[in-house]
Amino acid sequence: MTDSQKQKICKICNGQQHKNYTAMELVYGTKKSFNFFLCNNCGCLQMEKIPKEIADYYPEDFYSYTKKSRKKDLTIKTLIRKARSRYILDGNGISGLILHRLKKTSALLETCREIGIKTSHSVLDVGGGTGDFVWQLRSYGITDSIAIDKFINEDVYVEGKLLAKKTDIFSIDKQFDIITFHHSLEHMEEQQEPLLHAKKILKPNGTILLRIPTVTSYAWEKYGVNWWGMDTPRHFFLHSHASIKLLVEQVGLKIKKLWSDSTVSQFWVSEQNLQGISIYAHNSYGVSPEKSIFAKSEIDAFERQTANVNQKNRGDTICIILKHEDVK
Ligand SMILES: [Zn+2]
């Protein structure tokens, strides 16, 4: 078997029948192209050969790695947020109940409730950049929480406490109640190994949250290699619902729940990609809505379409709750 044939064996199911695609780097507009193949058997779209210089495609200003100043905040707003989140996550605190009824809960806090995070839980966020998600969790009162990311420049401390550690999951041996992969698994060269290790350090009744882009989506079918979720070459694996289920079962985990959480960016970024407008261009909707190619009515239509595809579980990103296979 030649090297090029070996590269085209599906890394999820070992399938050898596939369809080829060529996708370009579009976020920074270098337009360098990369080969992908989509497995006919499990439906996983994957990069044929991971570039050796992949770190070069994570520039200093990559969104997860920009350093923000984080100061301890004891304003009334912070105290209110803590009271609300304690009520939402732990189900106690009367002031939180009142505050919860007054204001719509943030999507992130709703996800935390969905996966059953309590303020007493320990949380590990894998591939969490400089710790944005963990910083949010701490603001909700979830203090035993930490991010890890091997691509950050150095460990990040806030007020003398470690927020994000420069490392990968294989160096972690502490047990956690909750392990999250927020759009990080698709950036990893191996798919089984990180999940196997996560399972090893997950407490018996613990929960793993995976958030990934998926080709089982309207956006992939409509936009193909111009689909925003490809983010070439940073995403190596674009799973189908079937391939992620297979992967999870291979490592002895099971899916407790899977749902679409896609956003309107699946439409406006993909439409801009079709027209060669990078998300950082001066006329990108993300930079300047007024100078963009979209009328407000078009964005409104994208919003309605987003709600529609999410409701049909055809959104381009999914949230998946995983448990040990023996947990009922
Ligand atoms: Zn496959």
Domain boundaries, the chain: 70-324
How remote is the CA of residue 69 from the centroid of ligand 1, in Å?
43
Q: Which two tokens stand for residue 100?
A: 């919860």
Q: Which of 54-68, 177-191, 241-255 is predicted with the least confidence, judged by mean pLDDT?
A: 54-68
How remote is the CA of residue 300 from the centroid of ligand 1, in Å?
37
Mean pLDDT of 21-34: 89
How remote is the CA of residue 304 from the centroid of ligand 1, in Å?
33
CATH architecture of 70-324: 3-Layer(aba) Sandwich (3.40)
pLDDT at site 62: 57
- Strand, helix or coil at 145? strand
* Per-residue pLDDT reduced to its tens digit, 236-247: 999 999 999 999
Q: Which two tokens stand for residue 193?
A: 């190994």
pLDDT at site 105: 47
How remote is the CA of residue 207 from the centroid of ligand 1, in Å?
26
pLDDT at site 199: 97
Tokens 């989140």, residue located: 85
pTM: predicted TM-score of the whole model, two decimal places: 0.86
The closest alpha carbon to 311, from 239, 242, 245, 261, belongs to 261
- Neighbouring CB atoms inside 10 A of 79's CB total 12
Tokens 């793993």, residue located: 208
How remote is the CA of residue 45 from the centroid of ligand 1, in Å?
8
The closest alpha carbon to 230, from 107, 136, 317, belongs to 317
Confidence of residue 115 (pLDDT cuts 50, 70, 90): confident
pLDDT at site 103: 46
What's the rounded Cα separation, in Å, for the pair 268 and 111? 24
What's the rounded Cα separation, in Å, for the pair 113 and 176? 17
What's the rounded Cα separation, in Å, for the pair 154 and 145? 18
- Residue with the bigger pLDDT between 219 and 3: it is 219
How remote is the CA of residue 16 from the centroid of ligand 1, in Å?
8
Mean residue pLDDT of the chain comes to 86
Mean pLDDT of 94-123: 69
Alpha-carbon dihedral of residues 227, 228, 229, 232, nearest 10 degrees?
Answer: 90
What's the rounded Cα separation, in Å, for the pair 150 and 130? 10
pLDDT at site 57: 78
What's the rounded Cα separation, in Å, for the pair 218 and 266? 10
What's the rounded Cα separation, in Å, for the pair 49 and 173? 31
H helices of 123-217, in order, are 132-139, 192-200
How remote is the CA of residue 248 from the centroid of ligand 1, in Å?
13
pLDDT at site 111: 80
pLDDT at site 286: 86
How remote is the CA of residue 191 from the centroid of ligand 1, in Å?
12
How remote is the CA of residue 39 from the centroid of ligand 1, in Å?
5
The closest alpha carbon to 182, from 265, 126, 132, belongs to 126
What's the rounded Cα separation, in Å, for the pair 86 and 78? 12
Mean pLDDT of 185-196: 95
Residues in the chain: 328
How remote is the CA of residue 58 from the centroid of ligand 1, in Å?
28
Q: Which two tokens stand for residue 154?
A: 């150095």
Q: How far is CA 298 from the centre of its chain?
A: 26
H helices of the chain, in order, are 3-7, 76-90, 94-102, 107-114, 132-139, 192-200, 218-223, 241-250, 265-274, 296-311
Q: Which residues, other chains included, contact 228 with Cβ-Cβ below 8 Å and sequence gap of 6+? A: 219, 265, 266, 269, 270, 273, 316
How remote is the CA of residue 50 from the centroid of ligand 1, in Å?
17
* Per-residue pLDDT at 193 exceeds 60: yes
How remote is the CA of residue 9 from the centroid of ligand 1, in Å?
8
How remote is the CA of residue 44 from the centroid of ligand 1, in Å?
6
Q: What is the DSSP letter of 224?
A: G
How remote is the CA of residue 162 from the centroid of ligand 1, in Å?
39
How remote is the CA of residue 258 from the centroid of ligand 1, in Å?
20
Q: How deeply is 283 buried, as exposed, middle or buried, from its count of CB atoms within 10 A (0-12, 13-18, 19+)? A: middle
Mean pLDDT of 269-279: 92
Q: Which residues, other chains included, contact 190 with Cβ-Cβ below 8 Å and sequence gap of 6+? A: none
How remote is the CA of residue 11 from the centroid of ligand 1, in Å?
7
